[in-house]
Structure 1
Amino acid sequence: MHSIRGGIMPTRAGCGRALALVSAAALGLLVSSPGIASADDGQPQANPEERAAAMVRPAVMYLGGQGYGGVRLPNGQILSQFGQGTNMPFIATWGCTAFVVNPDGWVATAGHCVDPESAKALILKRAAAEYISQYPDAPESRDPATALDWLRKNARVVGDSPDRGPEVGLTLLYGSGTTVTGKVPASVVDFRPLSKGDVALLKVEKHNLPSSELATDADVSIGTSVLAVGFPESTQNITGPSLDPTNKSGKVSKKSTMGSIPEYEIDAAVTEGMSGGPTVELNGKVIGVNSFAPVGEPQAFNFIAPADSLAAIMTSKGVKPTLGPADVFYRKGLTHYYAGRYTEAIDDFDQTLAMSPDYPGLLDLKTSAVNLRQRYGDVSAFSGARLLWYVAGGVALVLAAGAGLTFLALKNHWTLLFVPAPAAEGAESGEHVGAHELSLAEPHFCSNCGSEHHPAEKFCPNCGNHIDASESAMGAHLAP
């Protein structure tokens, strides 16, 4: 029995020391790990809005519209832009925003940006001044608003032939800053007017265009943070023309309907010229198309057409919204860029440019990556949040190893406890093994008074007599 008890205590002490060492090692990993509590050595940190803007920016295009037509009055005369005796049609121009939804030349915008009725309204607005000039005594000529209202009700805009409406042409421009890298005519494949969804699908003869991803209605909820992207006319008037779009931040205020047509209400400031541009959530996916603002509303209060409405038109034409191969490398490069891994980002950007040499804004971004790498170097894989995961994994492994050691130690402890003690020297081993097995399994009684006692006790706790170990296990009550 002494040999067994002597084996138990060192095992427990060993377990304690092992656990202490494991805990100390885990604590040491956490305390000594560099970079967890600090930023990545001063490298600039991008916010979610900046990332989202960078993801959708290459797909955004400027849409220029032009419409022309003559104005036929009720008396059959054609109102001309340069007065009586000329046949010069009235010309109207406007600007909107568009974005690529499939790299094979499929582009989305707002329905009212391509609707001939929009061109007609602009032409009549221009014609009102000429009508007043030619018919100053007419009762409807007392002011431009009255003249315009009269023309809307009584005149008709005609195109190249009397049975045609206004002729409309669309041009898409893309590039960076004031540099135009692409200018392509666009044709209207299908559209929904403002009252029926306000979305349009265009086609250009161009491939490998930077594209975007569409979200679904299930991805959108009240309070979703968004960016409304486009080319506001007011900004262009102040800063001059630029192919770098503006990004207005806000949130989804409400999911509503206009009649039976779904709309999202947002509080991002969408102004004239941004119509047709994408509104994206912070993961870069397009949730809707910039549509309209209530007339006379002083606060940021705008509506966008849900991306589901656009997706429905695309499906009807057999077009799938998707990113292209160049976009995959570009977005991978963005991930590396914002993680401070500039060398990897530059490699990804080079792959993108090899597939799409005109990728908008990418040369500037690559230059930025080169400059940041020169200034800060690449962030190590063992830093910041990444390091925290490595450390957490290391601590888990250390604790698992400690648990394994503890289990093995306890297993050895119980194995020792139930292994029979070796036979005493000079005795017959068979008898002693049996006696030791009995001493562990049976109760012990004093051979003098018969009281039960612990196997390790030397004196009976009842009568006080010395216990003879060789007789104790049989006990007085077992004697024949």
Structure 2
Amino acid sequence: MFGSQVRSVFVLLSVWGLAMLGTAPSFADDGPGRPPATTPVQKAENLIRPAVVYIEGDLSAYVGDNNGFFNDIDQPVKLTYSCTGFVVNPSGYVATAGHCADLGPEGARRDIVESVVQEIAQKDPTINVDHAMNVAMANWKVEGQNAGSPIDQTIRVARGGGPGQKAQVLPARVVEARPVSQGDVALLKVEAADMPSSELAGSGDVQVGQQVVSVGYPASTEKITDFSLEPDYKDGTISAKKTDATVPVYETNAALSPGMSGGPTVGLDGRTLGINSRLPAGETQAFNFIAPATGLVELLNRNGIKAELGPLDVQYRSGLDDYYAGHYTSAISTFDKILALSPTYQQAAEFKANATKARAQFGDVSTSSGSRTLWYVLGAGVLLLAGAAVAILLLRRRRGPASAGPGGAPPLPNYPSQGSPPAWSPTVYQPAGTPAPTNSPPSAPPGTPQAVPTQPDAADQPRPTAPAGGEASTLSAEKVPNSGTGVSRYCSNCGSQHGDTERFCSQCGHAVT
């Protein structure tokens, strides 16, 4: 009965504590409404966006066979192409797809030959393009301005210049390029400092079914005349991890398009998992190959370059965290510091403008909300502990003194404080034939009359009462002269029944009422 009461107390205290937490004021909604929540995909886009750049290249080569050059007027064949890249080191190192910088038969040479074959096929529809390509690749000469020199190539890297400013265009040189058959990755270098950079993920961080975002500039983008140079974002999943010939690749169902080659494919944490590569040969479904970032790491290590964020990137991400949390004033301050050091950090300028609008409309979220909630939690915990302590104390008082454990002495009777109980001595039994010792008073002188002492009946002598369980007891309940009422009495502590002559309980030692 009492145990159920204690449990009820615990339940009531717990419910009350949870009610306190549930009714605590929510300080995250201090302003009049909140802006729409940013999705995980949008957060990933915001993390990688500053590092993404637009790449444009020009190719110039003389094409011909043993009979002369293709156009017969000694003029080079010229091509312009576009790709996407992303900064991997603030000192101006840009990663892209290998075929965007490779001058060999898997890159620029094939592109130039194909353009010539297509032009010939337009003039003569009877030409088999595939056969003509095989013949041209095997026999034609493709060279630069000087006989036997490589194809002439010029590469430019462009990034958005910020609101109202034209894109910043920088010349780039090729540090190293690996063709498709060797990983399809390239590293470019531009002469710039404090460029917004990105993070790379390890191969162990990529799982089949993982949600990803592929970023790049489609070929239809308005080139570097566009002010913002805003890329496209295609979300999808990693469909498979496989090997194409001898090269490991990831397969994704993100809908990539020409021009997005070389752009990053990132996880929801914003780290780059791989580089947009190409459409699988003969594939009719919406699948594309992604070159794993491990190949880029190998190329960086080979050239002594470390992929890392710059100090401004760390500040930018801190500003984003404040912006998402509704701490707009703090976010504005962080973005201001970035722009003071790098005025062309386009996304810092954009988010500063967004934070300024949000602060005017919604106000800052109170920074004290977290500490106040903590005090509510701590207060509820203290009250629960206090209630538990009171319940335990009440339970102990209700149960009384603890009984001795097995083998221990039984508890001493708790005699009332008023008066002392009459002394009692157990009957002493003597061996047969042995006279019992007597404590007779001194003998009177001869001739003096002596009183004969009255010996009480054995039935009137008190007997030791054996305790329950058969254990020997050193004490026994004392009996008082029989009053003759015949009324049963009960122990006020344990409830044991006793005769009307017993003053103390033989079970627990308490006074019998």
Q: Distance in 2 between matches of 1:354 and 1:37?
A: 31
Larger Cα Rg: Structure 1 or Structure 2? 2
Distance 1:409 1:459, change over 3 A: closer
Q: Which residue of 1 aligns with 2:77?
A: 90
1:108 to 81, 92, 95: 95
Q: Which residue of 1 aligns with 2:216?
A: 230
Deviation track 1:361-415 (CA, whole Å, cap 9, x = no partner) reads 22122101100111111223466x9987776565445434544555566678789
SS in 1 for 2:112: helix
Distance 1:424 1:292, change over 3 A: same
Q: Distance in 2 between matches of 1:426 and 1:50?
A: 85
Q: Which residue of 2 aligns with 1:157?
A: 142
Contact 2:174 2:186 in 1 (8 A): yes
1:116-131 correspondence runs (5 A) = 116-117=103-104, 118-128=107-117
2:183 to 157, 173, 197: 197
Shift of 1:93: 0.9
Contact 1:18 1:405 in 2 (8 A): no
Relative contact order higher in (CA < 8 Å, ≥ 6 apart): 1
Farther-moved stretch of structure 1 (390-399 vs 226-235): 390-399
Q: Which residue of 2 aligns with 1:341?
A: 327
Q: Which residue of 2 aligns with 1:361?
A: 347
Compute the TM-score of the two structures, normalised by the length of structure 1. Answer: 0.78
Q: Which residue of 1 aligns with 2:500?
A: 466
Deviation track 1:15-60 (CA, whole Å, cap 9, x = no partner) reads 7897577435413313313449999833211111100000000000
Q: Which residue of 2 aligns with 1:3?
A: none
Compute the TM-score of the two structures, normalised by the length of structure 2. Answer: 0.74
> What letter corresponds to residue 14 of structure 2 in structure 1?
S
SS in 1 for 2:346: coil
- The number of residues matched between the two structures is 444
SS in 2 for 1:65: strand
Aligned-residue RMSD, C-alpha: 4.3
SS in 2 for 1:268: coil
Distance 1:330 1:392, change over 3 A: same
Q: Which runs of 5+ in 2 are unaligned?
A: 404-410, 424-466, 483-488
Q: Which residue of 1 aligns with 2:316?
A: 330
Contact 1:177 1:244 in 2 (8 A): no
Deviation track 1:158-209 (CA, whole Å, cap 9, x = no partner) reads 1121121201121100015884342111111122111111011122221111
Q: Which residue of 2 aligns with 1:26?
A: 17
Distance 1:422 1:366, change over 3 A: same
1:404-415 correspondence runs (5 A) = 406=391
Q: Distance in 1 between matches of 2:476 and 2:28?
A: 63
Distance 1:370 1:261, change over 3 A: same
Contact 1:178 1:243 in 2 (8 A): no
Q: Which residue of 1 aligns with 2:40?
A: 48
Q: Distance in 1 between matches of 2:383 and 2:494?
A: 46
> What letter corresponds to residue 48 of structure 1 in structure 2?
P
Shift of 1:297: 3.7
Q: Which residue of 2 aligns with 1:274?
A: 260
SS in 1 for 2:166: strand
Distance 1:108 1:408, change over 3 A: farther
Q: Which runs of 5+ in 1 are unaligned?
A: 1-8, 432-438, 476-480
Q: Which residue of 2 aligns with 1:211?
A: 197
> What letter corresponds to residue 195 of structure 1 in structure 2?
S
Q: Distance in 2 between matches of 1:102 and 1:390?
A: 44
Q: Distance in 1 between matches of 2:400 and 2:63?
A: 105
Distance 1:305 1:409, change over 3 A: farther
Contact 1:140 1:150 in 2 (8 A): no
SS in 2 for 1:195: helix
SS in 2 for 1:232: coil
Q: Which residue of 1 aligns with 2:64?
A: 72
Q: Which residue of 2 aligns with 1:287?
A: 273
> What letter corresponds to residue 503 of structure 2 in structure 1?
A
SS in 1 for 2:197: coil
SS in 2 for 1:332: helix
Farther-moved stretch of structure 1 (185-194 vs 20-29): 20-29
> What letter corresponds to residue 28 of structure 1 in structure 2?
A
Deviation track 1:274-310 (CA, whole Å, cap 9, x = no partner) reads 0000000111010000000125644320010011111
Shift of 1:444: 5.8
Q: Distance in 2 between matches of 1:314 and 1:207?
A: 18
Q: Distance in 1 between matches of 2:361 and 2:27?
A: 22
> What letter corresponds to residue 23 of structure 2 in structure 1?
S
Which structure shows the higher helix fraction?
A: 1
